[in-house]
Amino acid sequence: MSVVEWLFWIAVAIPVYAFAGYPLALLVLRSVFQRDVKKASLTPHVSLVIPAYNEAGVIARKIGNSLALDYPSGHLEIVVVSDGSKDETVSIARSIGGVRVLALPENLGKTAALNQAVAELRREIIVFSDASAILAPDAVRQLVANFADPSVGAVSGRYCTVKSADVNIGAAEDIYWRYEALVKTLESSIASTVGAHGHLYAIRNELYPFPAAETINDDYVIPLSVLARGFRAVHEPSARIFEEAREMTGFSRRVRIVAGNLQQLRYIPLLLRPFQPAPFFFFLSHKVARLFIPFAMLAACGANLLLWGRPFYRGLAAAQVLFYLLAGLGLTGRLRPRALRLPYYFCMVNSAGFVGLYHALHGRKTLAWK
Q: Are 183 and 115 within 8 A, CB to CB?
A: no
Alpha carbons 270 and 340: distance in angstroms, whole number? 40
**Within a domain: residue 135?**
yes
Alpha helices in the chain (DSSP H): 3-16, 22-33, 59-67, 89-94, 110-118, 139-144, 170-190, 218-228, 251-263, 277-282, 289-291, 293-306, 311-330, 342-361
Domain containing 54: what range?
Answer: 46-288
User: Are 221 and 211 spatial neighbours (Cβ–Cβ below 8 Å)?
Assistant: yes
Q: Is residue 34, in this structure, part of any structural domain at all?
A: no
Task: Note the pLDDT tens digit of each residue in 319-347.
Answer: 999 999 999 888 776 777 777 888 888 99
- pLDDT for residue 365: 46
Residue 263 belongs to a domain: yes
pLDDT of amino acid 15: 96
Count of domains observed in the chain:
1
Residue 153 above 90 pLDDT? Answer: yes
Q: Looking at the domain assignment, is residue 9 inside a domain?
A: no
Q: What does pTM read for this prediction?
A: 0.90
Name the pairing type of β-strands 100-104 and 125-128.
Answer: unpaired
pLDDT of residue 164: 63
Residue 44 is predicted with a pLDDT of: 97
Residue 111 lies in a domain: yes
pLDDT tens figures, 90-107: 999 999 989 999 999 999
Rounded CA separation 272/262 (Å): 18
Mean pLDDT calculated for residue range 242-269: 76
The pLDDT confidence band at residue 227, using thresholds 50, 70 and 90, is very high
User: Lowest-pLDDT range, 140-154, 317-331, 340-354?
Assistant: 340-354
**How many residues in the chain?**
370
Has residue 131 got a pLDDT over 60?
yes
**Residue 336 located in a structural domain:** no
Is residue 199 in some structural domain? yes
Q: Helix, strand, coil: what percent of the chain each, to 5?
A: 55, 15, 30
152: left (phi over 0), alpha (psi -120 to 50) or beta: beta
CATH code for position 203: 3.90.550.10
pLDDT score recorded for residue 323: 94
The residue-averaged pLDDT of 343-353 equals: 88
Q: What is the pLDDT of residue 173?
A: 80
- Rounded to an integer, what distance in angstroms lies between the CA atom of residue 158 and that of residue 196? 9
Q: Which amino acid is at 356?
A: G
**The pLDDT of residue 254:** 75
Burial of 207 (0-12, 13-18, 19+ CB in 10 A): middle
Would 140 be classed as within a structural domain?
Answer: yes
Question: Are 98 and 68 contacting, i.e. CB atoms less than 8 angstroms apart?
Answer: no
